[in-house]
Amino acid sequence: MAMLFDFLSVAPKRGFVFKNWAGIYSCRSQLFFQPTSLDEIVKVVKAAKEERKTLVTVGSGHSPSDMCMTNEWLMNLDKYNKVLELKEHPQKKYADVTVEAGMRVYQLSEYLGKKGYAIQNLGSISEQSVGGIISTGTHGSSPYHGLVSSQYVNLTIVNGKGEVIFLDSEHHPDVFKAALLSLGKIGVIVKATIRAVPKFNLRSTEELIKFDTLLAKWDTIWTSSEYIRIWWYPYTRKCILWRGVKTQEPITEPRRSWWGTLIGRYFYETLLWVATQIYPPLTPYIERFVFHRQYGQVETLGKAQAEVSTSVDGLNMDCLFSQFVDEWGCPLDNGPEVLRSLDHSIMQAAQSKEFYVHVPVEIRCSNTTIPDRPVNVEDRTPTSQGPIPGNTLRPYLDNTPSHCRYAPLSDVTNSQLTLYINATMYRPFHWNSYVGRWYALFEDTMAAAGGKPHWAKNFIGSTSLLEKQSKHETQYDDHEMRGMAKNIQKWYGKDLEDWQRIRREQDPDGVFLANKDWCIRNGIINDHD
Ligand SMILES: Cc1cc2nc3c(=O)[nH]c(=O)nc-3n(C[C@H](O)[C@H](O)[C@H](O)COP(=O)(O)OP(=O)(O)OC[C@H]3O[C@@H](n4cnc5c(N)ncnc54)[C@H](O)[C@@H]3O)c2cc1C
Ligand SMILES: O=C1O[C@H](CO)C(O)=C1O
């Protein structure tokens, strides 16, 4: 082995155990690589091909599912994480920054901040790697911004033949579309160019509103701010409406957070542990108690005090504890019907003590419609709303509704938007909670509303959706993913076929077909691939 890998500056580790962030899944890889240069990455891919091994590239391991698990070769690009180039627009309206794909999003924000720029939109955290955040369809929450991958102008990948390929809207646009949401199966993303905008702060409010107020204002609320997200606390019948706009105002004191304190946090996790492990009917009481500690009792719509923070602090949030997450996207127009139905089911389940949900149920939106003209940047100021897209291609595996049509910012309505609902279930002190019955109901509701699951998360599916059953239903753990091959083939149709064709062309020997079981149970490859 020493001979085979003497080109590496960091020797591969044998038997390295990888655990995902939530600690739900772990695997023992045969060999674990941390290359430090493009040449080393190419050689690792070629060695995998020659040795007939499969290779998974793992970023920060923040995907909650078992998608990165492998008992063959595992590679991580944490040591391949430098900034390569910064190209500024002549009037500094934006900057295109090329980085090595192992860079973490928080590292990229730190670098950009020093140069006077910021990432246009973020998800709830910044721990992810650039390669990882692109590969799963990660999103934030905004009526104007799309998937995080829409900020990327180009990618460079190493495909399964060990070739280095540059991808953008002109060079191999079909491979670019496949790599913009690839689940790590098209090639290793080694470099990426992100379009950043002038640095901005966020002026945000957190308003306490009734669940009924949310439903009553559904038609206009989502377009009331550039950044917006809602946290739903079903047992309190209340929500927190978070809204943010770009500003150049100076940063203010952060708002207080009860669960942000050591005692609040530990107490909350202990209460959840008691509820999940000893007496589940406590859950609604805990939720009400925690909500009132954190947010108070009184409706504050239009009256909440604003906070000014950096864009990163404003867009990221405290995700609290290890968790299962089942998140789906569906047309935002279907929101009221979906939420009424989920509300009814959650209340009935609590009454019959069938299951309990954790909070918040996160409600977000994105605008993944494709602009019909380039954005005019000349008149833009650092606080102008909306994105300057890096690309305007729709990834083949984009899970958001495909029928929504573009409208200029001033004309955006709910009909342009995707609704994301995120059913988080905590694992207090890393003890599992029961998710099966809640997630089955949640998934049926979302599928009936035209939804599809977020690829990276803990969707469960059903044995009835598998092409071939390897286990009986009773042999699965409560939270174990059964898969949804038949639905995924039905939902993605020709897009999936195109993605599969490109996958085979780029990786004819199946170097990236690790964790084949995950791929087959979700229909992205066939048995004979
Ligand atoms: C607390 C928390 C908050 C989150 N918030 C959000 C959110 O707000 N919005 C949202 O949409 N998601 C969210 N996620 C999910 C997260 O953004 C995605 O799972 C993301 O893909 C994780 O990035 P990663 O670097 O950890 O990738 P990993 O989980 O390590 O890998 C994910 C996939 O990317 C592939 N991959 C990684 N690097 C490369 C590469 N260089 N080349 C090719 N393929 C690669 C892997 O093979 C795998 O298929 C959250 C997750 C957690 C745990
Ligand atoms: O996966 C996710 O986890 C957090 C919620 O805790 C979030 O926003 C996701 O998305």
Encode the chain (529 residues) as per-residue pLDDT tens digits: 556 899 999 999 999 999 999 999 999 999 999 999 999 999 999 999 999 999 999 999 999 999 999 999 999 999 999 999 999 999 999 999 999 999 999 999 999 999 999 999 999 999 999 999 999 999 999 999 999 999 999 999 999 999 999 999 999 999 999 999 999 999 999 999 999 999 999 999 999 999 999 999 999 999 999 999 999 999 999 999 999 999 999 999 999 999 999 999 999 999 999 999 999 999 999 999 999 999 999 999 999 999 999 999 999 999 999 999 999 999 999 999 999 999 999 999 999 999 999 999 999 999 999 998 899 999 999 999 999 999 999 999 999 999 999 999 999 999 999 999 999 999 999 999 999 999 999 999 999 999 999 999 999 999 999 998 888 889 999 999 999 999 999 999 999 999 999 999 999 999 999 999 999 999 999 877 8
Spatial distance between the Cα atoms of 471 and 43, rounded to a whole number of angstroms: 38
Cα 353 to ligand 1 centroid, rounded to whole Å: 34
User: Which ligand does the CA of 425 lie closest to?
Assistant: 2
User: Which ligand does the CA of 133 lie closest to?
Assistant: 1
What phi-psi label fits residue 461: left (phi over 0), alpha (psi between -120 and 50 degrees) or beta? left
Cα 266 to ligand 1 centroid, rounded to whole Å: 27
Please, are residues 195 and 98 in contact by the beta-carbon 8 Å criterion? Answer: no
- Cβ of 139 closer than 6 Å to ligand 1, yes or no, is yes
**ipTM value for the complex:** 0.99
- E-state strands within 70-139: 73-76, 83-88, 95-100, 117-118
User: Which ligand does the CA of 319 lie closest to?
Assistant: 2
pLDDT, residue 1, reads 59
Both tokens assigned to 156: 């460079």
- Cβ of 59 closer than 6 Å to ligand 1, yes or no, is yes
For the CA atoms of the chain, what is the radius of gyration? 23
Question: What are the residue boundaries of the structural domains of the chain, listed by start?
Answer: 83-198, 201-368+412-460
Classify domain 83-198 at the CATH topology level: 3.30.465
- Cβ of 123 closer than 6 Å to ligand 1, yes or no, is yes
What's the full length of the chain, in residues?
Answer: 529
Please, are residues 35 and 41 in contact by the beta-carbon 8 Å criterion? Answer: yes
- Cβ of 77 closer than 6 Å to ligand 1, yes or no, is yes
Q: Residues enclosing ligand 2, CB less than 6 A?
A: 64, 123-124, 319, 323, 325, 327, 362, 422, 424
Both tokens assigned to 121: 């939109």
List CB contacts of 434: < 8 A, sequence separation 6 or more: 276, 280, 355, 478
Closest ligand 2 atom, CA of 124?
8
The pTM (predicted TM-score) of the whole model is 0.97
Closest ligand 1 atom, CA of 141?
8
pLDDT, residue 2, reads 53
* Residue identifier of the C-alpha nearest atom 2 of ligand 2: 325
Which of 127, 139, 324, 362 gets mutated to test ligand 2 (max ligand atoms within 8 A of its CB)?
Answer: 362
Classify domain 201-368+412-460 at the CATH topology level: Vanillyl-alcohol Oxidase; Chain A, domain 3 (3.40.462)
The one-character DSSP state at 192 is: E
- Cβ atoms within 10 A of the Cβ of 231, count? 22
- Cβ of 124 closer than 6 Å to ligand 1, yes or no, is yes
Cα 325 to ligand 2 centroid, rounded to whole Å: 7
Q: How far is CA 174 from CA 171, 177, 375, 405, in A?
A: 9, 5, 23, 21
Closest ligand 2 atom, CA of 364?
8
User: Which ligand does the CA of 455 lie closest to?
Assistant: 1
Spatial distance between the Cα atoms of 476 and 459, rounded to a whole number of angstroms: 14
Cα 381 to ligand 1 centroid, rounded to whole Å: 31
Alpha helices in 36-151 (DSSP H): 38-50, 105-115, 130-135
Cα 43 to ligand 1 centroid, rounded to whole Å: 25
Closest ligand 2 atom, CA of 323?
6
Spatial distance between the Cα atoms of 493 and 479, rounded to a whole number of angstroms: 28
Q: How far is CA 123 from CA 147, 312, 351, 364, 404, in A?
A: 9, 10, 34, 10, 22
Cα 448 to ligand 1 centroid, rounded to whole Å: 27
Do the domains at 83-198 and 201-368+412-460 have one common CATH topology?
A: no
- Cβ of 147 closer than 6 Å to ligand 1, yes or no, is no
Burial of 83 (0-12, 13-18, 19+ CB in 10 A): middle
User: Which ligand does the CA of 107 lie closest to?
Assistant: 1
pLDDT, residue 529, reads 80
